[in-house]
Amino acid sequence: MDVRLSSDQQAVRDSATQVVDRLGPRTVGQLDDRERSDRLDAAVASSGWRELRDADDGDAPLASGVEVALIAEELARGLADAPFTGPTLAAELRRRTGAPAATATETVGLTPTLSELTVAVDGALGSELVAVDADRSPSALVLVPAGEGHALAEVAVRPLDLRADLTRPAAGAAAGTVVRKLDGQVRALTADDLDAWTALGLALTSADLVGAMRGAIDLAVEYAGGRQQFGRPIGSFQAVQHLLADALVLMEGSRSIARHAAWAVDALPPSGAVEAAAMAKAYCARAARTVGEISIQVHGGIGNTWECLAHVYLRRALLSIDLFGGVDASLTRVLEGAGFGGDHGLR
């Protein structure tokens, strides 16, 4: 057992840090700077990070869950408004069916609660679909029944006005929209495939939450060191110090548990990977909302204005919390994994 990052993993993380620090939004106003976000998107595209879950020469992914989680964390810390989670999860689905890698940016299509993949029957969507992290994605992948399992289909999506997360716009498609089965699939997706995919989704969103927490804490600590009241920096007051200390502790616990979930994606069997990921997601989801709120609180009145980046972190966290199930859905999975035999999870 040695859970330090390898030098390759550190290098991947460092390059993500550099890209997002150079091209990510530094102010709320910069979120509207399309030229900047185009350059960030181009940098992410040329890095190859979105293709890390494509197949290598065999059926294995090019990089493990650890590398993609490290990138997700750094991108969230820098509030990157370039798609990553959506395309990564789409690539994971393609690889598992043996379909060729995507030629354009694409994402995944979820049910409106964002908890699971949409299943389309009879060649069309049975209900509304939401595609997350869909900036620059003209299409999303959905499931269609195939024998005992599922196959992949794609569906065209249009921008959707979901405004929780200002950095990762959503898209959608209405009920009745026609889906087209992907060419070149050689295997059906089994229940194990979908469990492993869910584990990756939970691990990636947990990593995203860790990054959002780090960014929110850095922002608040810097502010507390400079903002003067009563003739002293507010960061010198114990009441403020203890809020920020609590935030750091929650982030560090989240980081430890999220790192294990990222490792488990490829190292454990699907049921174990989902269990590890659900533990991480429950912990990170609860922590991230609190940390986001602390960051706003420390910023005081300024923290309650649109111009302050603190709410952008909290908003990003809100989407990552809900993706594939937040606290309660994850705790339900935890109880199942722990062998608690009561019916209906938390109910």
In the complex, which residues of this chain contact other proteins (CB under 8 A)?
1-6, 9, 66, 221, 224-225, 232-233, 235-236, 238, 240-242, 244-246, 248-249, 252-253, 255-257, 259-260, 263-264, 267, 279, 282-283, 328, 331-332, 334-335, 338-343, 345-347
Report, in Å, the least distance between residue 221 CB and other proteins: 5
Residue 178's DSSP bridge partners are 124
User: Going edge to edge, which strands form the sheet with 106-110?
Assistant: 158-160, 170-173, 129-131, 106-110, 139-146, 149-156, 180-181
Instruction: Find the shortest distance in angstroms from Cβ 262 to other proteins.
Output: 8
**Smaller CB distance to other proteins: residue 2 or 148?**
2
Report, in Å, the least distance between residue 105 CB and other proteins. 29
Question: CB of residue 30 vs other proteins: minimum separation in angstroms?
Answer: 26
Phi, psi (degrees; rounded to nearest 5) at 161: -90, 65
For the packed helices 7-23 and 34-47, what is the interaxial angle rounded to 10 degrees? Answer: 160
State the virtual CA torsion across 224, 230, 236, 238 in degrees, nearest 10: -110
Q: At its nearest, how many Å lie between other proteins and the CB of residue 174?
A: 35
Question: To the nearest whole angstrom, how small is the minimum distance from the Cβ of residue 61 to other proteins?
Answer: 16
Q: Which is nearer to other proteins, 285 or 317 (CB)?
A: 285
Sequence letter at residue 313: Y
Of 122 and 343, CB closest to other proteins = 343
CB of 233 to other proteins, least distance (A): 5
CB atoms within 10 A of CB 243: 19
Tokens of 39: 């350059």
Beta carbon nearer to other proteins, 94 or 333: 333
- Of the two residues 67 and 135, which places its CB atom closer to other proteins in the complex? 67
Q: Going by C-beta distance under 8 Å and a sequence separation of 6 or more, which residues neighbour residue 256?
A: none
Decide whether 167 or 295 has the Cβ nearer to other proteins: 295
In the three-class reduction of DSSP (H, G, I as helix; E, B as strand; rest coil), residue 61 is classed as strand
Q: Are 235 and 241 in contact (CB under 8 A)?
A: yes
Residue with smaller CB distance to other proteins, 69 or 166? 69
Residue 5 carries which DSSP code? P
Residue 293 to residue 226: CA distance in whole angstroms: 20
